Structure 1
Amino acid sequence: MEPESNDQQIKELQRQVKYYRDLSDEVAGQNIRSDSQISLLKRKLTQKENGFTILSALHDSFGQQIFEEDFIVNTLLLINTTLKMDKTVVVWKAPGKNHVFQTRFHMGFEKSEVEKIMPVEIDFFEAEEKIVRPFIKNKMSPPSHIAEELQSKLLIPFFISVPIRMRSEIIAWMITGREKEAWPFYPILDEGDLDTLVSISGFLEAGLSNASLYNSLEKANEELESYNQELEKRVAERTKDLRKKNRELTFEKKRSEDLLLNILPEETAEELKKYGFAKAKLQENATVMFTDFVNFTKFSSSISSEELVAELDHCFRNFDTITTKYRLEKIKTIGDAHMSACGVTGDGGDASDVIRAGLEMRDFVEKYALEKPEHLRPYFKIRVGINTGPVVSGVVGLKKFSFDIWGDTVNTADRIQSGSIAGKVNVSESTYLLTKDLFEFENRGKIAAKNKGEIQMYFVERKVN
């Protein structure tokens, strides 16, 4: 009986060993599944966090970047850096072609690659149907003609492609992706990435289509609030940061308002804020002044571009100070020419203030010339031309708001400047008649002016004591 008892004990031990081995395998499997679920959860949280970061950054820049190119390029940079994409490209609808798109913006490409992707044309058509929805191309995606075409022509192996619409029409596609897909260092693109990029494309659409800066800011604020509410439900620890972003939004909105007042007259800015547009107005008695540097073309060829811009910036900064002093409205600069005026808004100086400003600008340039080497002094002389008459003032267009004035008075003022000589303030008869008791003038008689025939002109000598 003893051998049989030993056999039973051995079998019992073998059964126990197998039981604990199976139990160990089951526990290990549960741990692996748990680790996988935790890893997937971390991936989803990272996606949401990165999405919030880039959307917040886009929102913060929305009030500052009112130019289409700046806004799109900075968006591509945010996508590559924040979402860890290798390459991003925006293809724009080709003129006269219904569903063909051409490369317009790109980020992350080598110079040699840029030369390859710029001339390409992409036909967003699949199985004789126009493509209108966003899609993913990753390792698990089934083959498709459009995915292979994008891979080949845009040199991006794995990518997400989302449409950009304006007034319900697709005007562009944004394609962003990676060179590799290998977990965990190069995670496979998935629906979470797609959702983030669809949200980003919404920002691009808003930036391209909004009629005014303030409407755009309000829309961005509403969108960000929506994203904030969703994120607060999932990531409670981000609440403090969310409040900070809202304070920054208020600050940026105030900055954008200050910027608007810096580029537009207060009266025009208030009208734009109130109605979303500003009507052009006829100003019956405006005085327009042009200044222009003598021999500017020759001077520009004698120094570097950086030095030239620095010199112009120094002079125009002082000109702006002078126009502010005499309550003139700076209109614009064109190359080396500076244009300002009075009487184009509800408040400002008169014709005599414009002449005083012109004399002071001339005196500043002559004094500044003495600081320069002898061979450069001849270039630091300006001609000044002033004319008085009716103009139309206002803001035109929907983008890049710029206050301007139009009319024959403006063209004549430019001709008066061209008819002046270095170091002289030259005025028309209309300006002379308004200020003849305040200054001493030299009657030059009628001077030929391009496309204007002969114009009566006067040099301003000095103020009457």
Structure 2
Amino acid sequence: MAEVIRMDNLSQMIPGALPQEKLGDVLRDLETGVAIVALADWRITFENGRFFQWCPPKDDADAPLSDRLDDFKADRARDRLQKNRPYRQSFEVREGARSTFLEITMRSFDGGSDYAVVECRDMTAQKRAEYMLESYSEVSERNTRELQKEKDRVEKLLLNIMPRSVYEEMKDYGTVTPQRYENATIMLLDFVDFTEMAISREPGELVAELNDIFSAFDRIVEMFGCERIKTMGDAYMAVSGLPESSPEHAADMARVALRIRRYLGRRNAAHRQTWNCRIGIATGPVIGSIVGIQKYVYDIFGPGVNMAARMESFSEPMRITMSSETYDLIADDFIVEDRGFHEVKGFGNTELFFLEGEKERTTIRRETRL
């Protein structure tokens, strides 16, 4: 059994210590737990009241330190102390529902002594602060993720109503400058007999089909680098050549129109309800801008849009009618049918054309380019 150190012998063991009559009082009054242990068997030869309170013996009053501390790494502690290096270990003491977090620091006496000083500190306040900080960090991270998710949702919604470059300008500057585009090609489409369909069919079923069709249109439009501008009931408007200019704007929009017609033809063959469309295409100058203050949308207007609307009204079910300006840009690469001259409101006597298909050499070139 290790020798029990008397209080009057402590001053002799600790070089430079206080006089022996004061040392005991100082150690007992410390808010920090202090003990002295023998390295050979971890017997506690001295402990103050705070150490006894925090690290009480479980059964045997003379139990060594290794029995008082849960998961005490005795061999590791002895190895470090014999090398004159401190040993630290943290542990939790539970009293009912209350937990106290403690940390012990063990240091050997100078000169290769067989004894070590054990200092025990209450780390509960620090642990709680760390826990609160960690909890706050988790809440902050969760809020940041939720905020980012909301920002992504808003961005997705805005990108559904305006081109990305317009969205970026609005995000950076809070406003969008109206832009004039001299060379743009516009497509306007609506469905034949849609009013009668809206009256006779169940609304939910009708809208679900319309959403499915418009979603397919969106994919086709995006495939050729065009922009869907808006839908108005059964009408669908798309444009090519803005906000980024493209020398292929007329050809790209012609390809979009042909593939939309092909999609509807295949869909009609597989479904009971048929959806027949009229498509108009025109090329001309337009102005693009955000319209509205609280409920805003991106819209285009100008001669090109007006001509596309006229072409759509002159078109026939499942046919694509285009203006002479569009024809001049794509005639070499597409199959067209001359419709002759027609009096077009606001534009006078105008030559119109049916777009029938794409020449094979253009298709090969386009697929290679893609």
| 1:415 corresponds to 2:331 | no
Q: Is the Cα–Cα contact under 8 Å of residues 280 and 395 in structure 1 kept in the other structure?
A: yes
Structure 1 residue 236 displacement after superposition: 9.6
Q: What amino acid is aligned across from residue 317 of structure 1 in structure 2?
A: S
Q: Is the Cα–Cα contact under 8 Å of residues 330 and 340 in structure 1 kept in the other structure?
A: yes
Aligned residue runs from structure 1 range 305-454, under 5 A: 305-347=203-245, 349-373=248-272, 376-377=273-274, 380-454=275-349
1:245-276, CA deviations, whole angstroms, 9 ceiling, x for partnerless residues? 24422332343334433432121111111211
Q: Is the Cα–Cα contact under 8 Å of residues 161 and 229 in structure 2 kept in the other structure?
A: no
Aligned residue runs from structure 1 range 216-231, under 5 A: none
Structure 1 residue 308 displacement after superposition: 1.1
Match of 2:169? Answer: 271
Q: What amino acid is aligned across from residue 271 of structure 2 in structure 1?
A: K
1:331-360, CA deviations, whole angstroms, 9 ceiling, x for partnerless residues? 000111100001121155510110111011
**SS of alignment partner, residue 296 of structure 2:** coil
Pairwise CA RMSD: 2.3
Matches of 1:459 and 1:443, distance apart in 2: 6
1:357-409, CA deviations, whole angstroms, 9 ceiling, x for partnerless residues? 10111111111111223xx43xx211110000110011133223321111021
1:184-234, CA deviations, whole angstroms, 9 ceiling, x for partnerless residues? xxxxxxxxxxxxxxxxxxxxxxxxxxxxxxxxxxxxxxxxxxxxxxxx9xx
Q: What amino acid is aligned across from residue 386 of structure 1 in structure 2?
A: I
Aligned residue runs from structure 1 range 23-422, under 5 A: 239=136, 242-243=139-140, 244-347=142-245, 349-373=248-272, 376-377=273-274, 380-422=275-317
Match of 2:70? Answer: none
**SS of alignment partner, residue 289 of structure 2:** strand
Structure 2: gaps of 5 or more residues? 1-128, 361-370
1:137-171, CA deviations, whole angstroms, 9 ceiling, x for partnerless residues? xxxxxxxxxxxxxxxxxxxxxxxxxxxxxxxxxxx
Matches of 2:203 and 2:321, distance apart in 1: 30
Structure 1 residue 425 displacement after superposition: 0.9
The structure with the largest strand share of the pair is 2
Structure 1: gaps of 5 or more residues? 1-231
Residues 254 and 306 from structure 1, CA distance in 2 versus in 1: closer, same or farther, beyond 3 angstroms? closer
**SS of alignment partner, residue 301 of structure 1:** helix
Residues 449 and 259 from structure 1, CA distance in 2 versus in 1: closer, same or farther, beyond 3 angstroms? same
Identity of matched residues, %: 38
Matches of 2:234 and 2:217, distance apart in 1: 12
**SS of alignment partner, residue 327 of structure 1:** coil
Matches of 1:323 and 1:422, distance apart in 2: 21
Structure 1 residue 460 displacement after superposition: 1.2
Q: Is the Cα–Cα contact under 8 Å of residues 286 and 300 in structure 2 kept in the other structure?
A: yes
The structure with the largest helix share of the pair is 1
Residues 236 and 462 from structure 1, CA distance in 2 versus in 1: closer, same or farther, beyond 3 angstroms? closer
Structure 1 residue 297 displacement after superposition: 1.0
Q: Is the Cα–Cα contact under 8 Å of residues 419 and 447 in structure 1 kept in the other structure?
A: no
Aligned length: 228
Q: What amino acid is aligned across from residue 323 of structure 1 in structure 2?
A: V
Matches of 1:300 and 1:258, distance apart in 2: 29
Q: Is the Cα–Cα contact under 8 Å of residues 395 and 402 in structure 1 kept in the other structure?
A: yes
Structure 1 residue 451 displacement after superposition: 4.8
Residues 240 and 426 from structure 1, CA distance in 2 versus in 1: closer, same or farther, beyond 3 angstroms? same
Q: What amino acid is aligned across from residue 265 of structure 2 in structure 1?
A: E
Q: What amino acid is aligned across from residue 267 of structure 2 in structure 1?
A: Y
Decide which structure has the larger Cα Rg and report it: 2
Matches of 2:358 and 2:138, distance apart in 1: 61
Query: What is the aligned counterpart of 1:456 among 347, 351, 360?
Result: 351
Q: Is the Cα–Cα contact under 8 Å of residues 326 and 353 in structure 1 kept in the other structure?
A: yes
Residues 330 and 449 from structure 1, CA distance in 2 versus in 1: closer, same or farther, beyond 3 angstroms? same
1:79-136, CA deviations, whole angstroms, 9 ceiling, x for partnerless residues? xxxxxxxxxxxxxxxxxxxxxxxxxxxxxxxxxxxxxxxxxxxxxxxxxxxxxxxxxx
Q: Is the Cα–Cα contact under 8 Å of residues 382 and 423 in structure 1 kept in the other structure?
A: yes
Matches of 1:304 and 1:366, distance apart in 2: 23
Residues 310 and 251 from structure 1, CA distance in 2 versus in 1: closer, same or farther, beyond 3 angstroms? closer
Q: What amino acid is aligned across from residue 339 of structure 1 in structure 2?
A: M
Matches of 1:313 and 1:250, distance apart in 2: 28
